[in-house]
Amino acid sequence: MPRTFLIGGNWKMNGDRALVDTISNTLNNATLPEGVEVVVAPPFTLLSLAREKFKGSIGVSAQNASFEKSGAFTGEISCAMLKDIAIDWVILGHSERREIYGESDETVGKKVAFAVKNGFKVIACCGEKLEHREANKTTEVVFRQLEGIRAQLTPAEWANIVIAYEPVWAIGTGKVATPEQAQEVHEQIRAWLSEHVSADVASATRILYGGSVNGANSSSLQSKPDIDGFLVGGASLKADDFLTICKSKM
């Protein structure tokens, strides 16, 4: 069965109510290609408004969630809180969470498992730094990150996981992996899934590319067989550019 192409827009710590209006008006009134799924991830303060403004066929995602149910965890957001405002997607394990806030592979795995067990669809991120790539350690790092997730999940739970491969050296730098570089890692991730989870999970799991994706390079990236969509950063804040990316799937 073909994998549905997915475009995710990670707004990070950007945006306001006006941007929700702008992006939602653009996407709601656009004719998107058949077989393409779109999910937007505004900051927490805009999630409820975004779910109200975007039409139902467009998903709305949080950018983080706790693995705790509730309690004395100042500043955290629980899965139950997100469910209460009709959010059922969450991005977890982004490199900025790992690097800036010290989230370990184990912590990311616990977050992913808790979210899935609470009915969420998860975009689980992985990716190497420049020094890892230059030392030929890309797969060592990526597979270690994936193992932190695999250790917490049953094979059946992978049905609600989307992997986003985001080479850290390409995030927000203007640098982008070539289609061949991205395809090579995506193919290796799929082979790892086949060996360590199952062939069925490997075949069905969507693997997104993220890292300076924009309207100019999305068309060439989407042509590769193991690239099942994009997790877009800065370009997701520009309505016309994001729409171009959403329409890039041939």
Q: Which of 96, 103, 128, 166 is catalytic?
A: 166
DSSP 89: E
Q: Which of 76, 94, 128, 132 is catalytic?
A: 94
Please, how many CA atoms are within 13 Å of residue 147, restricted to the half-sphere of its CB?
7
Helix axes 138-150, 105-117, angle to 10 degrees: 40
The closest alpha carbon to 229, from 211, 212, 249, belongs to: 249
- Give strand pairing partners of 230: 7, 209
Q: Helix, strand, or coil here: 207?
A: strand
Question: Is residue 166 annotated as a catalytic residue, yes or no?
Answer: yes
The alpha carbon of residue 54 and the mean position of all alpha carbons in its chain are separated, in whole angstroms, by 18
DSSP secondary structure string for all residues of 121-170: EEEEEE---HHHHHTT-HHHHHHHHHHHHHTT--GGGGGGEEEEE--GGG
Question: Is residue 94 annotated as a catalytic residue, yes or no?
Answer: yes
Q: Helix, strand, or coil here: 224?
A: coil
Dmax (CA) for the chain in angstroms is: 48
Inter-residue contact 125 to 95 (CB < 8 Å): yes
Q: Which residues are catalytic?
A: 94, 166
